[in-house]
């Protein structure tokens, strides 16, 4: 998908089903190398990032088959510890193979990871933690050459609750001698999902969802079946699609507890929201209220992955909204594209000030990253006239055929 074309002015209404979480799928696919056996994983969305992970698994000798939304990985024939540079550079999340491959093979070679250009995302916490566990890591010409004679459990204090570092330590510690303790661990729901997957194949992990995680090393693992949790960022994006178009939707296959910070902001904007254990109903107001202050923070704070979408919503609100981006310093590229559509946004460092305007106007804009691309779709849904989003391939990294989902809910949208 290179371009998306949207003719705005149609309400998003009806019932939508949320797909499995991208940010759970990627580390769990990396974890399939651990057991050397069969892994059956359900509710995996069709995303370009998932395809990259599948290519990496195949490159190291795993057999991978896909049956609709189920992926089966047989890692018994893993025979290569080197991961192709071109695959690692396509996606930052591929760094989680570092911990998994060290645990399984005791060595691996990979390049520094790529991904969306949303500011520096150093992997120093990953490397420092793995070294504390006994890994010898040399950095040569952009490559990481990693070896260990056997990882040892230890206490690791993270300077920042990094999701990727937490996942890498968890994966590396599965076979480590003794117990590994991660303090100031990331608390995202996807961390708990990874814990559940590891435990389902015989690992001993506890504490995920809190700031302290314990991993007791085991000798071997067995076959596993697992269902991925719903994607909280996709859910939040679809709720905003209804809100910005003054529609009314019901989301199915969602965990409301996982998106409380987004729900709170939508209520602040004037939306009525009702929910059960696995569904959410949103009824948009006729006029959206400005949200005085939104600050991105690690979970359970407001997610950086929803910052661009909430900005799109605020462009047509009544009043002035302020957003502070505390996670990534270069995550406002979408703001300049929204301005092309008539938005009134001023960016100063990590702060964006959005003054609501009566309407947005369709324009040709560019998706510079995944979530920024989602924000442009949301703006296009409500803009007068036609919006063309170029570089829409970024959006495929995190949304399973979003144009088909929105079309079924009333949008006039198609891809070129």
3-class SS at 117?
Answer: coil
User: Residue 94's pLDDT is what?
Assistant: 87
| CA proximity to 255, closest of 162, 188, 164 | 188
User: Residue 380's pLDDT is what?
Assistant: 98
User: Residue 121's pLDDT is what?
Assistant: 53
Is 123 annotated for ligand binding? yes
Distance between CA 7 and CA 61 in Å, rounded? 46
Is 43 annotated for ligand binding? no
Is 45 annotated for ligand binding? no
**To the nearest 10°, the Cα dihedral for 309, 314, 316, 318?**
160
Residue 162 has a CB neighbour count (10 Å cut-off) of 22
User: Residue 120's pLDDT is what?
Assistant: 46
Is 278 annotated for ligand binding? no
For the chain, list the domains and their CATH numbers.
3-19+230-415 (3.65.10.10), 22-227 (3.65.10.10)
Strands (E), 68-161: 70-74, 107-111, 136-140, 143-147, 155-157
Phi, psi of 263 (to 5 degrees): -60, -45
Q: Does pTM surpass 0.75?
A: yes
**Catalytic residue status for 116:** yes
Q: Tokens standing for 287? A: 């006029």
Residue with tokens 């989602």: 374
Is 310 annotated for ligand binding? no
- Cα 200 to chain centroid, rounded: 23
3-class SS at 363?
Answer: coil
Residue 292 has a CB neighbour count (10 Å cut-off) of 10
* H-run or E-run covering 414: strand 412-415
Residue pLDDT tens, the chain, 416 long:
589 999 999 999 999 999 999 999 999 999 999 999 999 999 999 999 999 999 999 999 999 999 999 999 999 999 999 999 888 888 878 899 999 999 999 999 998 876 555 444 578 899 999 999 999 999 888 889 999 999 999 999 999 999 999 999 999 999 999 999 999 999 999 999 999 999 999 999 999 999 999 999 999 999 999 999 999 999 999 999 999 999 999 999 999 999 999 999 999 999 999 999 999 999 999 999 999 999 999 999 999 999 999 999 999 999 999 999 999 877 999 999 999 999 999 999 999 999 999 999 999 999 999 999 999 999 999 999 999 999 999 999 999 999 999 999 999 999 99
Rg (the chain; Cα; Å): 21
CA-CA distances (angstroms) from residue 285 to 16, 193, 270, 318, 406? 20, 35, 6, 12, 20
CA-CA distances (angstroms) from residue 112 to 117, 127, 145? 14, 11, 11
Is 191 annotated for ligand binding? no
Is 54 annotated for ligand binding? no
Sorted by sequence, the CB contacts under 8 Å of residue 410 that are 6+ apart come out as 10, 11, 12, 13, 14, 247
Distance between CA 62 and CA 38 in Å, rounded? 10
Phi, psi of 281 (to 5 degrees): -115, 130
Q: Are 9 and 382 in contact (CB under 8 A)?
A: yes
User: Residue 246's pLDDT is what?
Assistant: 98
Is 327 annotated for ligand binding? yes
* H-run or E-run covering 313: helix 307-314
Active-site position among 116, 146, 154, 271: 116
């Amino acid at each position: 998908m290179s371009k998306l074309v949207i003719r705005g002015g149609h309400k998003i209404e009806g019932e939508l089903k949320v797909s499995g979480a991208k940010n759970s799928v990627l580390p769990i696919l990396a974890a399939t190398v651990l057991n050397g056996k069969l892994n059956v994983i359900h509710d995996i969305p069709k995303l370009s990032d998932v395809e990259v992970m599948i290519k990496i698994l195949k490159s190291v000798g795993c057999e991978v088959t896909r049956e609709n939304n189920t992926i089966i990985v047989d890692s018994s024939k893993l025979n290569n510890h080197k991961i192709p540079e071109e695959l690692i550079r396509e996606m930052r999340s591929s760094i989680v193979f570092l911990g998994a491959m060290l645990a399984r093979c005791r060595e691996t070679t990979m390049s520094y990871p790529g991904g969306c250009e949303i500011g520096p995302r150093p992997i120093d916490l990953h490397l420092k933690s793995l070294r504390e566990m006994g890994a010898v890591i040399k950095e040569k010409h952009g490559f990481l050459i990693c070896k260990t004679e056997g990882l040892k459990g230890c206490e690791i204090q993270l300077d920042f609750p990094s999701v990727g570092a937490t996942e890498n330590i968890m994966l590396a510690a599965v076979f480590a001698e003794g117990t590994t303790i991660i303090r100031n661990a990331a608390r995202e729901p996807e961390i708990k999902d990874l814990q559940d997957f590891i435990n389902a194949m015989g690992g001993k992990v506890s504490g995920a969802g809190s700031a302290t995680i314990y991993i007791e090393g085991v000798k071997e693992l067995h076959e596993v079946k697992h269902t991925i949790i719903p994607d909280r960022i996709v859910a939040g994006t679809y709720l905003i699609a209804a809100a910005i178009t003054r529609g009314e939707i019901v989301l199915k296959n969602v965990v409301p507890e996982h998106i409380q910070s987004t729900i709170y902001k939508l209520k602040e904007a004037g939306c009525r929201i009702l929910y059960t254990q696995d569904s959410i109903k949103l009824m948009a107001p006729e006029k959206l209220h400005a949200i005085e202050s939104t600050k991105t923070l690690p979970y359970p704070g407001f997610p950086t992955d929803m910052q661009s979408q909430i900005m799109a919503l605020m462009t047509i609100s009544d009043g002035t909204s302020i957003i502070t981006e505390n996670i990534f310093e270069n995550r406002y590229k979408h703001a300049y594209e929204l301005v092309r559509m008539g938005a009134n946004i001023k960016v100063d460092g990590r702060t964006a000030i959005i003054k609501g305007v009566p309407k947005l106007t369709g324009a040709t804009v560019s998706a510079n990253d995944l979530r920024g691309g989602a924000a442009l779709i949301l703006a296009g849904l409500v803009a007068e006239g036609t919006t063309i989003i170029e570089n829409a391939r970024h959006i495929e990294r995190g949304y399973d055929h979003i144009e088909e989902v929105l079309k079924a809910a009333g949008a006039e949208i198609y891809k070129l």
